[in-house]
Structure 1
Amino acid sequence: MPIQSETKLYAPIKHFFEQRGYTVRGEVKHCDLVAIRGDEPPLIVELKKSFNIPLLVQGIDRLRLTQDVYVAFELPNKGKAPHRLQWEDIRRLCRMLGLGVLTVQFYKRKQPTVDLVCEPTPYTLRHNKRASGKLMTEFHERSGDYNVGGSSQQKLMTAYREKSLHCAYLMQQHGPLSPRKLREMTSNMNVSSLLQQNYYRWFIRQSRGIYHLTPGGEKALLEYAHVVTAFPSVTIPSSLP
């Protein structure tokens, strides 16, 4: 029976690349799956339930970020290539586009298997270095993998949301804090901007240079408890007033 959502593809493909030494994150800057190994450029995988034109267009768009882009979909019934094509047709098409191809086969009584149909080949489209840099920054600034690749219409755990939660957690633990103390406790040099912008309305300025947690912030700590529990315990630096 065909899968109901492309999110089912995420776990087996994540495992596939982790076995090859990559660190994997889901839903990074609108990319379904991003994997990085050491100092190598990022690798991107776009997921769809089946092989179709929107998947190819999505893959081509990701080539602006890196030359290592794969498209992935469930292996069709009986292992036949989709749309009455031959697998060699799929390989040739995707190689011309500069895309790699992965398929996932699901079973009733054993773990799914991932098959590498073809590797991505170099593509002449000029990379957007600025956008690629933002992708890698977002990846590295996340402390863990809190999203499932392929998700849509739901809140994603971004690096910004995670940093905001960290500040909220520290305020919950220690009471009202100044940007200076939070900067020292989180090593986030942009904490002042985060508090002033107050995008999620989790903070309120209690007095000059002192911020406190709002009820919305308290609620967020409960909603994202699975993220908050990963934050280390921090004491207020004694060197600061």
Structure 2
Amino acid sequence: MKKEANKKIMETDLYEPIYNYLISQGYIVHSEVKNCDITAIKGKELVVIEMKLRFNVTLLMQAVQRQKAADSVYVAILKPKGGAFSKGWDDMCHLLKRLELGLITVSFNGKKPMMEIVFHPMEYKRKKNNNIRKAIIREINGRYMDYNIGGSTRRKLMTAYRENSIHIACCLEKFGQLSPKQLKELGTGEKTQSILSKNFYGWFNRVSVGKYELQESAKEALKNYHELAEHYRKQIKNIDISEFNSKA
């Protein structure tokens, strides 16, 4: 079944190549049985395939419903341009595997449609990514409060890095020029030297080897984080600067 270049592909066009493959594997195939797009039986095995041109939530819901009755359930979609390199492909495959669903793709680029079983349904064995887990926990531990709103986009988020920078800025604001060692003794943490050296926000100025001061622009920036800045100002309010003057 060769598709004309400018002819729109319909969901029903996916049926024939899938049907032909299942027949070649010895299945008895029927379509639209009890709302199932394709059913295939071999012996006591019942396979159900749900079709959509594109991967979407409706397809997932239909496929998961079919798992109540079928031994194996696949979703079949039109193969996206770029295949495994297309946007969202890895996330889609991960979700399908997590739901123990198989994936079939159909393409119409050649002389005849090509059907591919990308993977079969299989039991999902959950694996934790310890690196990502540790990174999340580090970020949580590095924040004083939750200043963000879940679901936010297109706005500056409060990260542990930004909060750490605000802490350093408040110390320099109060005490003037300080070394990374002095700042760490004030509780600014192990990343102090890196934050000062990279100066990502442009808040700090190195006045000499191992000495930093606060830029005027940072004093304005702190006004945008008033609540958090006040928290750190209170922390250092009663510290005597003379204790640090002799420390490099």
Q: TM-score, normalised by structure 1?
A: 0.49
Greater relative contact order (Cα < 8 A, sep 6+): 1
Q: TM-score, normalised by structure 2?
A: 0.48
